[in-house]
Amino acid sequence: MPTLREVPAEAEIASHQLMLRAGLMRKLASGIYAFLPLGYRTFRKIEQIVREEMDRAGALELVMSSILPAEYYIASGRWEVFGPEMFRLKDRNKRDFCLGPTHEEIFTEIVKNEIRSYRALPLILYQIQTKFRDEIRPRFGVMRCREFVMKDAYSFDRDEEGLDVSYRKMHDAYCRIFDRCGLDYIVVEADSGSMGGSGSEEFMVKSDIGEADIAYCEKCRYAANVEKAECIPVPCCMDSEGDASAGREDVSVERVATPNVRTIEELMVFFNSRPDQFAKTLIYRADDKYIAAMARGDREINETKLKNFLGCIELELADSEAVKKITRAEVGFAGPIGLDIDIIIDREVEMMKNFVVGANETGYHLINVNVYKDFKPTAVIDLRNITDGDRCPRCGASVSISKGIEVGHIFKLGTKYSRALNCVYLDENGQERVMVMGSYGIGIARTMAAIIEQGHDENGIIWPFEVAPYHVIIVPVNQSNEVQVDVAENIYAQLMKEGIEALIDDRDERPGVKFKDADLIGIPIRINVGRKAEEGIVELKMRSSGELREIKVEDVPAEVMRIMGECMGTRGK
Ligand code: ATP
Ligand code: MG
């Protein structure tokens, strides 16, 4: 239990700091951590909750290897799709392998070889196993690391209706898991991204340090990842005089000198107008092709939507060299007129009238531009990020945006992997049919960190009973007082007999040090054995509320059990 007094400089967020300070884990390399005994106890408890709920849902546990042959990922196309995120290696015979980043292909391969008949379906298999992803930006400790344990489950069904049932089972199991972990979470619609398939949801723990943005509607409870949330275009037809009813399309494009005016902010000052009178044009590299994407000046382009539309593997902003070549101008003056690459515009841009764009000429912008009249977009799509105050795509009320930590993700995969790997079964009529699949993941250590994000104070972690490394910590105040040590040992033995997980701090340290450490490691109940031990009285302190009271030694086990029953009973077990 090597606790630290100092806050480690590398750790920016509470859970990362506390996991290091409480001696739960240590860093070995960027995004690579070892769990120490105290941390591993909680880790295993979360694993066990996940296991119990998977078993309850009828899933069967197995375990795959971590080193996986390339061929299955080549067959699905993901050998390429994963790009540099995949850890790759060659064996002595120069054959390609990877360290498994996720196992859709491998489960599909196993099931394909073992299951022949419709009678064996549906089937849900899962494992709790180490995954490897060479993340671009490992950060926040075990929240985003490069080696991490995931529970991944895969369902195999005869048809879409079957998939719906399996998916619902996993959805409900996830709710029970995160309820039991004591988390405040919401389920949001998510992008299926490179996984393919027809639908997916993420389990988001509400937290300001979360990396995901969630759009939420109070009125109809619609919730979606901003990557996915559909945007209702807001018409804006202001002309240069600020007249909202304007529609003066008879005006023609004019070239205006705008020396050193590049950003939307600079343009607003220069033209003395609002950001929604500009359309920005960004040049992207999509695999080996360049494209232009346009949105209103005050909007953010949603790269997930753009990527899904283009169906490309890699998408990134073009570098300045490429921008200069394509626009024949310095960066900051790109516009749609005269570009000879595809131009994808947001639906709002189509509605804009007489707006300002870059002129593809250094130091110039064009005013009075209108879509169709002045340039022809390749496609008009929903291309922007939803923002605070936007209208809910379901009910039209106003949505708000908040941050979340994605702890779990469930997907309807459909037949993407079963088709690629020819995972088929024979139906009642002896007809060969492709299995319909789902995939379901939970990050164990990320869940652990999320529990700490939601459960801590300035003194340390506040574990819920379900995942606390121990339920009770007994602190003999003076280790050289024999009565105190005896009473402490006695309480310890009593608790252990009742199946309560107790820890006794028998270090020869000052009481202040022991109390501080007990608070830091977040054990829910602390029993202080001090001077009154001679009268058979000890103190019971609740970590969560700070409530402290005296209690008779012989009442300790019953009182601890009562408290635990009360706290754990309120969870959705
Ligand atoms: P993210 O968007 O955060 O990168 P993902 O969509 O790549 O996550 P999935 O492939 O759906 O994640 O993985 C399932 C679960 O595994 C996630 O919900 C998360 O709990 C966990 N997970 C994913 N990547 C990491 C990571 N780098 N470190 C720790 N846990 C992770
Ligand atoms: Mg990821």
Task: Give me the architecture of the 470-568 domain, per CATH.
Answer: 3-Layer(aba) Sandwich (3.40)
Closest residue CA from atom 16 of ligand 1: 443
> In this prediction, what percent of the chain has a pLDDT beyond 70?
96
Burial (Cβ within 10 Å: 0-12, 13-18, ≥19) of residue 439? buried
Question: What is the C-alpha to C-alpha distance for residues 220 and 222, in angstroms, rounded to an integer?
Answer: 6
Question: Which ligand sits closest to the CA of 152?
Answer: 1
pLDDT at 194: 61
Q: Which ligand is the nearest neighbour of the Cα of 134?
A: 1
Please state, in angstroms and rounded to a whole number, the distance separating the CA atoms of residues 244 and 569.
Answer: 58
Query: Residue 304: pLDDT band by 50, 70, 90 thresholds?
Result: very high
The total number of residues shown for the chain amounts to 573
Cα 202 to middle of ligand 1, angstroms? 10
- The two most distant CA atoms of the chain are separated, in Å, by 97
Helix, strand, coil share of the chain (percent; to 5): 30, 30, 40
Phi–psi pair at 97, nearest 5 degrees: -135, 165
Substitution site in 137, 150, 183, 209 for ligand 1 pocket (most atoms within 8 Å of beta carbon):
150
Q: Quick one: angle between helices 160-180 and 37-56, nearest 10?
A: 140
Q: Render pLDDT for 211-235 as a digit per residue (tens, 0 to 9).
A: 999 999 999 999 999 999 999 998 8
Specify the DSSP class assigned to residue 241.
T
pTM of the model as a whole: 0.91
Residue 308 has pLDDT above 60, yes or no: yes
Pairing type for strands 456-457 and 185-189 reads: unpaired
Question: What are the b/e assignments for 11-21, b being 16+ CB within 10 Å?
Answer: bebbbbbbbbb
64 φ/ψ angles, rounded to the nearest 5 degrees: -100, 170
Name which of 3-12, 193-202, 226-235, 250-259 the model is least confident about: 193-202
Average pLDDT over residues 27-35: 96
| Of 104, 139, 148, best ligand 1 pocket probe by most atoms within 8 Å of the beta carbon | 148
Cα gap 141→452, rounded to integer Å:
12
Write out the DSSP string of 159-223. Answer: SHHHHHHHHHHHHHHHHHHHHHTT--EEEEE---GGG-SSEEEEEEEE-TT-SEEEEEETTT--E
> Ligand 1: which residue has its CA nearest to atom 1?
406
Q: How far is the CA of 409 from the centre of ligand 1 (A)?
A: 8
Cis peptide before 122 (omega within 30 of 0): yes
Query: How far is 573 from 53, CA to CA, in rounded Å?
Result: 10
Which atom in ligand 1 lies closest to the alpha carbon of residue 408? Answer: 18
Q: Which residues line ligand 1 (CB under 6 A)?
A: 102, 133, 135, 144-145, 148, 150, 406-409, 441-443, 446
- Residue of 46, 104, 406, 412 to mutate, ligand 1, most atoms within 8 A of C-beta: 406
- Ligand 1 pocket test: which of 446, 448, 453 has the largest number of ligand atoms within 8 Å of its C-beta? 446
Q: CA-CA distance, 11 to 20, in Å (whole number)? A: 8
Q: Which ligand has an atom closest to residue 148 CA?
A: 1
Instruction: Take atom 14 of ligand 1 and give the residue whose Cα is closest.
Output: 441
pLDDT (0 to 100) of residue 572: 42
Distance 443 CA to ligand 1 centre (A): 6
Domain boundaries, the chain: 37-210+400-452, 254-381, 470-568
How does pLDDT run across 237-260, given as a tens digit for each residue? 554 455 544 555 578 999 999 988
Separation between Cα atoms, residue 155 and residue 115, nearest integer Å: 13
CATH fold label, 37-210+400-452:
BirA Bifunctional Protein; domain 2 (3.30.930)
CATH of 254-381, one of 3.90.960.10, 3.40.50.300, 1.10.287.130, 1.10.1040.50: 3.90.960.10
